[in-house]
Structure 1
Amino acid sequence: MHWLLLCLILLAFVLIVIEDVVHINKAKSTLFLGTLVWLLAFMFPGHGTDTAAVQAQLNENLLEIATLWLFLMAAMTFVAYLNQQGLITQLVYRALPARIGQRQLMLLMALLALVFSSLADNITASLIMLSLLASLKLKPRSMVKYAALLVFAVNSGGVSLITGDVTTLMIFLAGKVAITDLFLLIPAALIGVLVLLATLMTGGNSEIEIPRFRRPIAGRDKVIAGLFLLTIVSTLLFSVFFSIPPVLSFLFGLAVMFLAYQFLYRDTPSRQSVLEYMRDIEFDTLLFFLGVLLLVGMLKELSVLDHLPQLYQIMPVVAANYVVGLLSALVDNVPLTAAILKSGIDMDLADWMCLTYATGVGGSLLIIGSAAGVIAMSKIEALSFVSYLRYMPRLLLAYSAGYGAVWVMGRTFV
């Protein structure tokens, strides 16, 4: 049964890769196989395990999944409103000139993603930046290139703050790094993004015409946008000062948005119900997340990650941390980080900083390796596992450059 479950998990990831060949939506295949492996675990418990133990394992995984689901739902509802009102598109038109070179546009988008994901969480930053990208109406090949850049930049920016990436928070809470130590990851993240930019800026610098459909932004839309920004900031502050889970802060912000919408449109009987904006959420994204996390949860329960600490016995710590980053492109970085923290591996501060960068950015190498990548694959029609895979050598080079920069700064300044 152990090997059957592993084979089913492998099959699920293969179906994601060949989605364009078999024409089976990845959300459907992952959800089917993600639930199937848990059904089989209940029907045929492993040696020394009973259904009560499997139930406890499932409950633990469902709690993690529900937290991510609710957070995504809240953030995507805000973005759905802003998109439908055209506010994000209007901001793009106002921020960009009528014509801009592709290199300048790529640099601007990369820096925006890097900065925004440092201030907010990866999921929120991904939703905003991908909405900006979709509004530009680029050619399919360009869309894939920009999407790869944004996924890497969002993941790179998120590693420097405990609210930006879950694994950064885990390593911080374990007492391995301090807030001030994490600030050293900012220049390293910038170096990695600039290296990737340099590899993507090959060829001509043809200009892109930005469509001009400027119109006044309604005051009510500005209020909702302000509430969205306030929710992001308060999520950061509440997490740092009161250890309030980000999902709770975002759900509270969503509730405030609902009440504000009700008040702002009280004199408009024909207005659309605020709950209707939740229908605009792409539930394919949420179902895909659900299926993938169920699969990864089973992978964790099968003790596949228990052998991870052996890496540190057969190679130097700096090399092992680098490899862990590569593995995070295939396996969720949260159980990877948890396995290392629980193993009691002895590392100095510089090595823990390297691990923080590796687990946060290494998932960018494959489209299914990070939340930003999964969101991008669901929002950008031209983006698939195979089309993203073409950029893996450049992403690997950028990841290596950033990782090397963290190691040098860790050895120099701490």
Structure 2
Amino acid sequence: MAGGGGGLTIDLTATAAGFLAIGVFVVAYTAVIFEEQIHMRKSKPVLLAAGVIWIIIAFVYMGTDKRHLVEEGIRHNFLEYAELFFFLLVAMTYINAMLERGVFDELRNRLVRRGYSYKALFWLTGVLAFFISPIADNLTTALVMCAVIMAVGRDNPSFIALGCINIVVSANAGGAFSPFGDITTLMVWQKGILDFHEFFALFIPSVVNFLIPAVIMSFAIPKGNPPPLADDNDGPAIKRGGMRIVGFFLLTIVTAVSFHNFLHIPPVFGMMFGLVYLKLFGYYLKTVEKTYAALNDAIPGAAPKRAADGKDKFDIFNKVAQAEWDTLFFFYGVILAVGGLGFMGYLALASEFMYVQLGTTTANVLVGILSAIVDNIPVMFAVLTMQPEMSHSQWLLVTLTAGVGGSMLSIGSAAGVALMGQARGYYTFFAHLKWTWAIALGYAASIMVHLAIN
């Protein structure tokens, strides 16, 4: 028997139903890996796999007295997803609001105006990604920094490819030492396994993980400076309220941390509470824009305000609609599919092999390597479902390896998968694979540093 679903479940690991479920999962993930070649969004195959796996389970349990366990198992996994979903939805809404208000356009313009060389921009975007991702999470940070790379390097494909690889590595490394930095660290924090401050012990290993491949790749950066942008101008790109939205986002993060640490409320509740800040501020912006438009209309001969045509009006629901829904649905499919395999008993089997037979440290290093192949979300979710007995140092190690191990392949992390879509044709699976050896050196060095100092 395998634990799950609120009682003892039937062990299906050596049955036809179990083998069929594994086959469905493998086929689905193969489709995810070749997303770029088959032009099918990654959420579609995993959503299908999640549904089929639980249908197989339901059929097996139909003729038993344990039918209720299937519903309990689905509800348990759905709750896991719901917490992650709403947390990410708030973060994505804030990021989209900052994008719409021109916050990141202003960052891009300032980088270009300063006349930095390609190499300087490579390092600047990498360092910024490393230090922004602990706050804004590695996925959203990678998307923002990729926009900068695409803007300044649009005439230099090799720079875009190297810049995107560097961003994926730096964003994942920066996200590894913060509960907000990565989906995997967020899951560990929400589970209550590590306290908020404990993640910062991974700062130095994360720096090592970022610097080693960055130094190696920097020698391949083309010389010279990017050409000036045709639409570049001397005026600020930030619209009214842009920097205040940044402040409200930081306040939202503080709210989520405070709710969790002092009130012992799940962090997602603090994030949803923080969404109120943005919604109320959106109401304020609408009111101000209407007032300015009315005043402008009252002035004879005045040019019509941009806000009056509706294009620049701030609408919070537009920001929600612009969230990365494919990624959010991908997480749903992953959590339900892996949860279904766990319900069948496969995760208990894997836990026994990895953490008992191989040993804890070896298993946690292997988790990072698996993260590069299968994506770090299902791997970390599987580890959390296994709940192996480990010290805090080992939990920190698996948090590090799951976070940065995914950098070794473009499909190994949410940041990499997202950038393959955003920089389609420039940043590809094989462009990333060319530098996997350098990223692997950083991965090995970060583990050794962690074991030495933590």
Scaled to the shorter chain, the TM-score interval is 0.7 to 0.9
Pair 1:375–1:248, CA change in 2 (3 A): farther
Give the aligned partner of residue 364 of structure 1: 407
Pair 1:356–1:75, CA change in 2 (3 A): closer
Q: Tell whether the 8 Å contact from 1:326 to 1:363 is kept in structure 2 after alignment.
A: yes
How do 1:364-383 residues align onto structure 2 when only pairs under 5 Å count?
A: 364-382=407-425, 383=427
| TM-score (normalizing by structure 1) | 0.85
Alpha-carbon offset, residue 343 of structure 1: 3.0
Determine which of 78, 83, 86 is the counterpart of 1:62: 78
Q: Tell whether the 8 Å contact from 1:354 to 1:403 is kept in structure 2 after alignment.
A: yes
Give the aligned partner of residue 438 of structure 2: 394
Q: Tell whether the 8 Å contact from 1:19 to 1:26 is kept in structure 2 after alignment.
A: yes
Give the aligned partner of residue 407 of structure 1: 451
1:255 counterpart letter in structure 2: V
State the identity %: 27
Alpha-carbon offset, residue 55 of structure 1: 1.4
Determine which of 343, 347, 362 is the counterpart of 1:305: 347
Q: 103-112 vs 153-162, which deviates more?
A: 153-162
Give the Cα–Cα distance (whole angstroms) in 1 for the partners of residues 62 and 412 of structure 2. 28
SS of the residue 2:71 aligns to: helix
Give the aligned partner of residue 296 of structure 1: 338
Alpha-carbon offset, residue 11 of structure 1: 0.4
Give the Cα–Cα distance (whole angstroms) in 2 for the partners of residues 352 and 68 of structure 1. 20
Give the aligned partner of residue 206 of structure 1: 224
Alpha-carbon offset, residue 140 of structure 1: 4.3
Give the aligned partner of residue 364 of structure 2: 321
Determine which of 73, 76, 79 is the counterpart of 2:89: 73
Q: Tell whether the 8 Å contact from 2:152 to 2:227 is kept in structure 1 after alignment.
A: no
Q: 44-53 vs 91-100, which deviates more?
A: 44-53
Alpha-carbon offset, residue 268 of structure 1: 3.7
Give the aligned partner of residue 144 of structure 1: 161
Q: 96-105 vs 65-74, which deviates more?
A: 96-105
SS of the residue 1:344 aligns to: coil
SS of the residue 2:226 aligns to: strand
- Is 1:230 matched up with 2:246? no
Give the Cα–Cα distance (whole angstroms) in 2 for the partners of residues 232 and 168 of structure 1. 15
- Is 1:39 matched up with 2:55? yes
Summarize deviations over 1:38-64 as a string: whole Å, max 9, x none: 233323439968442121111111112
Structure whose CA Rg is larger: 2
Summarize deviations over 1:186-207 as a string: whole Å, max 9, x none: 1121111110102211234332
Summarize deviations over 1:72-108 as a string: whole Å, max 9, x none: 2222222222223322111222245443222222222
Determine which of 230, 238, 248 is the counterpart of 2:269: 248
Pair 1:36–1:409, CA change in 2 (3 A): same
- Is 1:274 matched up with 2:316? yes
SS of the residue 1:266 aligns to: helix
Q: Which runs of 5+ in 1 are unaligned?
A: none
Alpha-carbon offset, residue 124 of structure 1: 4.5
Q: Which runs of 5+ in 2 are unaligned?
A: 1-16, 291-307
Q: How many pairs are equivalent?
A: 407
Give the Cα–Cα distance (whole angstroms) in 2 for the partners of residues 51 and 167 of structure 1. 31
Give the aligned partner of residue 327 of structure 2: 285
Give the Cα–Cα distance (whole angstroms) in 2 for the partners of residues 122 and 237 of structure 1. 22
How do 1:347-358 residues align onto structure 2 when only pairs under 5 Å count?
A: 347=391, 350-358=393-401
Q: Tell whether the 8 Å contact from 1:122 to 1:158 is kept in structure 2 after alignment.
A: yes
Pair 1:83–1:171, CA change in 2 (3 A): closer
Alpha-carbon offset, residue 333 of structure 1: 3.7
2:447 counterpart letter in structure 1: Y
Determine which of 323, 337, 341 is the counterpart of 2:383: 337
Give the Cα–Cα distance (whole angstroms) in 2 for the partners of residues 406 and 336 of structure 1. 23
Alpha-carbon offset, residue 265 of structure 1: 1.9
Give the Cα–Cα distance (whole angstroms) in 2 for the partners of residues 84 and 123 of structure 1. 18
Q: Tell whether the 8 Å contact from 2:129 to 2:141 is kept in structure 1 after alignment.
A: yes
Q: Tell whether the 8 Å contact from 2:112 to 2:152 is kept in structure 1 after alignment.
A: no
2:233 counterpart letter in structure 1: F
Give the aligned partner of residue 88 of structure 1: 104
Give the aligned partner of residue 235 of structure 2: 215
Pair 1:335–1:140, CA change in 2 (3 A): same
1:246 counterpart letter in structure 2: P
Q: Tell whether the 8 Å contact from 1:79 to 1:127 is kept in structure 2 after alignment.
A: no
2:389 counterpart letter in structure 1: G
Give the Cα–Cα distance (whole angstroms) in 2 for the partners of residues 152 and 170 of structure 1. 20
Q: 366-375 vs 98-107, which deviates more?
A: 366-375
Summarize deviations over 1:153-198 as a string: whole Å, max 9, x none: 2222223234434655676798986766644421121111110102
